[in-house]
Amino acid sequence: MTKPLFDTLAIIGPGLIGSSIMRAARAQDAVRTIVATSRSPETRKRVLELGIADRVVETNEQAVEGADLVIVCVPVGVCGAVAKEIAPGLKAGAIVSDVGSVKGAIVRDMSPHLPKTVHFVPAHPVAGTEHSGPDAGFSELFDNRWCILTPPEGTDPQAIEKLAAFWRLLGANVERMAPDHHDLVLAITSHLPHLIAYTIVGTADELQTVTRSEVLKFSAGGFRDFTRIAASDPVMWRDIFLANKDGVLEMLGRFNEDVAALTKAIRKGDGEALYEHFARTRAIRRGIIEAGQDTAAADFGRPHTHDD
């Protein structure tokens, strides 16, 4: 496909993900014009100062007027309300997408509001950091990361391919999944790890015998990565757990069974069972490195991106 792929891109919610899309789209000449809007005047002002949009407008409806590609980059819980707001302003033939970390709920919340004249192609770029807001974004965020498209059945294949081409231009590898399957996969690869991080950091904080300063002092070990993940945006993660209740509960059930099995092995002094388990998980880690989704290098100093 020839560049630019779209004439006008509208970003609603130019936070970490939205502003990274804007920066990457600009860097790759993926679109001719970028229009952005945000809920707060402060964020709108900041986006203007950063110079990452051609125009910043006040309302969600204004932002989508004349846009060929609209990407809703707000927390999962407000996607439905935003779809309702933008519906009257959407141009016939426009592609409407999102970046939400949960897909089943978003399809159910957004679809009913969108006119039949637009193509709805939900998407989830599986890339992020624990930071938020327009200053946190950067154009390389999607490099060699997955972007999962979950178009409802019957979506125009050309619209799907055009959005896929857009994400490939931004550096991502594109995959297609059914929304509910996406939610099950992400429950184990992203949502459960975040829940464990939120839990473990909370548990350590509440321990009477380990003072807060000791937790901080010795957090150079495995705990440090948990504290980074547990610093992720509370609104975003509240919405993810509310929206992917079924997927998370399913994976949490399996996880609890495995924790119980390891607990038993430790109590019984069953070194063989522990060794077998740890050897299997080490092989999984090596597989991730071979698949190019992480490096074997130590974490020190490299930018903290992770898969959300």
Query: What does the binding site for ligand NAP look like in residue numbers (CB under 6 A)?
Result: 12-18, 38-40, 43, 60, 73-76, 78, 82, 99-101, 125, 128-129, 132-133, 233, 236, 240, 308
The Cα–Cα gap between 154 and 64 comes to 24
Residue 120: count of CB within 10 angstroms of its CB: 24
Name which of 224 and 304 has its Cβ closer to ligand NAP.
304
**Phi-psi category of residue 51: left, alpha or beta, with phi > 0 → left and psi -120 to 50 → alpha:** left
Name which of 4 and 233 has its Cβ closer to ligand NAP.
233
Residue 33 CB, nearest approach to ligand NAP (Å): 19
Residue 204 CB, nearest approach to ligand NAP (Å): 23
Query: Is there a contact between 191 and 159 (Cβ–Cβ < 8 Å)?
Result: no
Name which of 30 and 127 has its Cβ closer to ligand NAP.
127
Please give the helix or strand (H or E) that residue 281 lies within, else none: helix 271-290
One-letter amino acid at 184 equals L
Provide the 8-state DSSP code for 306.
Answer: B
Q: How many residues does the chain have?
A: 308
Scan for tokens 């509910």, then name that residue: 180
Residue 111: count of CB within 10 angstroms of its CB: 14
Name which of 13 and 104 has its Cβ closer to ligand NAP.
13
Residue 166 CB, nearest approach to ligand NAP (Å): 16
Query: Is there a contact between 230 and 201 (Cβ–Cβ < 8 Å)?
Result: yes
Residue 211 CB, nearest approach to ligand NAP (Å): 31
Name which of 132 and 293 has its Cβ closer to ligand NAP.
132
Name which of 109 and 308 has its Cβ closer to ligand NAP.
308
Residue 76 CB, nearest approach to ligand NAP (Å): 5
Q: Are strands 123-126 and 146-149 parallel, antiparallel or unpaired?
A: antiparallel
Query: Is there a contact between 86 and 65 (Cβ–Cβ < 8 Å)?
Result: no
Alpha-carbon distance values, 145 to 127, 286, 294 (Å): 6, 17, 10
Residue 278 CB, nearest approach to ligand NAP (Å): 29
Query: Is there a contact between 192 and 240 (Cβ–Cβ < 8 Å)?
Result: no
Name which of 4 and 240 has its Cβ closer to ligand NAP.
240
